[in-house]
Amino acid sequence: MFSTTLLDWFALNGRDLPWRHTKNPYAIWLSEVILQQTRIQQGMDYWLRFMQRWPRVEDLAAASEDEVLREWQGLGYYSRARNLHAAAQQIAANGSFPNTLDGIKKLKGVGDYTAAAIGSIAFGLPAAVVDGNVYRVLARHYGIDTPINTTRGKRLFTELAQSLLPTDQPAAFNQAMMDFGAIQCTPASPKCVLCPLQESCEALRSGRIGELPVKEKKLTIQTRRFTYIYIRCQGKTAIRKRAAGDIWQGLWEPVLTDDCGMLSGAKLLRKDVKHVLTHRILLADFYLLEAEAFPALPEGYIWIDESELDQYAVPRLIELLHEAVFSNPHK
């Protein structure tokens, strides 16, 4: 009953999205990667831009990492873009997009959920997706209070979703689960009164809608401080590419320093600018140093024309710094 009711609901209420009008695995994979941690409306704009600029996976593979990161700018979680580019190169080297779950999972950055989504939608593979929407719908409907972020919980929900999947309609079922969780069984204020599953929903019957799904609290939030100096000298500024092993790998930033001596003559633009990431809170001070002669730079920095700054991909925190700098009148 659950699966049939869900598919009937989807036939009437499913979202009309451009990547649902194709079986092209590249287009579907691109949508799945972009929509991780991203709202659909924002993600759609990026998907359209990527598909227009790089219509084939071979085109994306041939691009430079800097080009991909620049096109990705504003979406955050830049490891997604780096993995996307690396996986495109894997596919191009192999000559075709993999059409098995194991093959899809070998692509850089592709886990169980993304592999199941691509496999079911592009190739009709009977693999159930399990994400936040699926956890919520199943936990509420079946009254499951096993924490979803435990090994036992992940296995339980994966097995349940797989048992409910109609093997002849895997794409429709998976898309129905995604949409039902996003439209009907939402995290806050779900539309229970109009829900076609209300008669069989255990959470509704027991008054536990707000309690399910259950998630164990394990996350420790760390705070990091940054001091950035935007140096302006003879129409140029200094930047460097961030290295591997830390946040924002491959993105560019102005001078980052803990040397108070470098702040001599610099103007404080903004203090304690807060930027929140998944596992940490960043607090940054922004300085502007306008120099007549080029100062010595720490290792790894280069001078570029200020007019070329928008050619370099930067994280959101540095976008805020640039806004502060360019709202400040030149000397």
Provide the residue type at 329 as one letter: P
Note whether 30 and 47 are within 8 A (CB): yes
Note whether 295 and 234 are within 8 A (CB): no
Question: Is the link from the previous residue into 190 a cis peptide, with omega within 30 of 0?
Answer: no
Positive or negative, the CA dihedral 108, 42, 11, 3 is positive
- Angle, nearest 10°, between helix axes 40-53 and 65-72? 150
Query: Integer distance in angstroms from the first to the last C-alpha of the chain?
Result: 71
Active site residues: 32
Q: Would you state the structure tokens that stand for residue 205, as one six-digit string?
A: 């019957």
Mark 112-128 as b/e (b = at least 16 C-beta within 10 Å).
bbbbbbbbbbbbebbbb
